[in-house]
Amino acid sequence: MTLHLVSNKPSVIGVLDLQGGVHEHLEHLERLGVAYKKVKQPSDFADLAGLIIPGGESSCLFRLLNIFEIKEVLLQAHRRGMKIWGTCAGAILLAREVVGESSCLNLIDIVIERNGFGSQLDSFVSEALIPAISAKPIPLTFIRAPKIISVGKEINVLLKIDDYIAAAESENILVTVFHPELTGCLALHRHFALKCGLNPAADSHDYIDPLWKSSSWTRQSRIA
C-alpha cells in the first residue's frame, strides 16, 4: 500500500485510534492549541507531523495494525519524517526488542519488558524532575507499565528511576512508560509538539492545570 505525500509542510499531530487512551491525548493536544486528529486508516497519515501511539494493550494494538492494514503506511510516514511518541503500550510497539516476545515496529533502539512492575494492582502514581522537559516536577502515572531495561548508544535517556528507564528519545521517536495524558500536565505533549516542528501555546511550558480533572477527556469522546 502506497502513502501519497502532500507538498505542504505537515502540521497535524494524530493519535492512533485503534485501542487505548485516544481521547485523553486529544484533550491535551487541544489545550496546547495544536491541530490534531484521530488516525485509523491509511489516508489519515497524509498530513501528519507526528503520531501518538497511546497506552492500551500492546498485543491487541499489534494485531489491529495488521487488521486495518496501516503498519506499512505508518512506517512509510515515519521514513518521510513523521515523528512518533509511544506511551506505555505504544512504547512496546516501537521498541527494537521486547523481552520474550516479537518486536513490532522496531523504530527505536531500546529493550523493553512488558508488565515490568507486575499486574494491574501494581499500578502507581509518582512524580519526577525531567530537566529536558520541564523545570518543575512532572506527575507520573504508571498503569501495568513496562520497563525500559537498556538503550542503544544514540538514545537520549530522559528519565531513569532506580534500575529502569522511564522515558527516552531518539531524533524522531519519543517513548514513555507512564501516562502523561492521565494528568493535568502539558509538558510532555508540548515537548512532542516542538519535536514535530509545531508551535504549541507559549504559556503551556511547565503548565499543570489546577482545574484539570481526570474526566476532562470525556468531552473529546463526544466531539472528536
Place of cell 533502539: 109
Extract the C-alpha cell encoding 171. 531524533
* Cα distance between residue 27 and residue 41, in whole Å: 21
From the candidates 25, 88, 169, 189, which is the catalytic residue?
88
From the candidates 23, 113, 181, 185, which is the catalytic residue?
181
Report in angstroms the alpha-carbon separations of 86 from 95, 177, 201: 9, 8, 22
* Cα distance between residue 24 and residue 179, in whole Å: 10
Q: Any catalytic annotation for residue 154? A: no
* Cα distance between residue 96 and residue 29, in whole Å: 28
Q: Any catalytic annotation for residue 23? A: no
Give DSSP secondary structure letters for 89-111: HHHHHHEEEETTB--SS--EEEE
Place of cell 523545570: 135
Q: Any catalytic annotation for residue 88? A: yes
From the candidates 25, 78, 179, 189, which is the catalytic residue?
179
- What is the set of active-site residues? 88, 179, 181
